[in-house]
Amino acid sequence: MNGKAKILLVDSCYEADSLSQYEFVRPVQRLLERTGFPCQICHISLLDEERLKGCDKVVLCGTALKDNEYLNHLERYTWLKEGDWPVLGICAGMQIIAAIFGGEVRSRHKPAIGLEKIEVVRESDILGPSRKIEVYHIHSLDVTLPEG
């Protein structure tokens, strides 16, 4: 295992082993494994304490544009408040984190699709130093930031 952290990829798609997993979860798995980070995929409906104990980091993966089923099951994510792992939320994953910590997930007037420049306001291990970067996004929901 070359000393690197074991990463748990949480699949939040509408059902376990759905076709969406191949579009929104497995590419993250391939990228991580190609760079030497061992990881495991688990659908949120199958996630248990044993799997959480076996990981060092967590990635909440995204879902399809119209797949908002995770919003009907936010109770499945309350473990986020109890854990001490670093967590990265991609798209729907970020919306889940915001909702669990008190933010609001709300519909946009129209979906946002394409490249957009964003400002990295604080240096991070993933995005590097503060600067403007161009990212691809596809989403139909927004979030408000939780307090704090």
The pLDDT tens digits for 75-90 are 999 999 998 899 999 9
Which pTM was predicted?
Answer: 0.85
By CB neighbour count within 10 A (0-12 exposed, 13-18 middle, 19+ buried), where does 147 fall? exposed
Who contacts 125 (Cβ-Cβ below 8 Å, separation ≥6)? none
pLDDT by position in tens, the chain (length 148):
445 679 999 999 999 999 999 999 999 999 999 988 899 999 999 999 999 998 999 999 999 888 999 999 999 999 999 988 999 999 999 999 999 999 999 988 788 888 989 888 888 776 778 889 888 888 889 888 888 7
Alpha-carbon span 69 to 12, nearest angstrom: 8
The residue count of the chain comes to 148
The answer to whether the CB of 11 falls within 8 A of the CB of 41 is yes
The pair of structure tokens assigned to 28 is 């993250």
Residue closest to 39 by CA, chosen among 23, 53, 58, 20: 58
Alpha-carbon span 111 to 140, nearest angstrom: 4
Domains along the sequence of the chain with CATH: 1-105 (3.40.50.880), 106-142 (no CATH)
3-state secondary structure of 83: coil
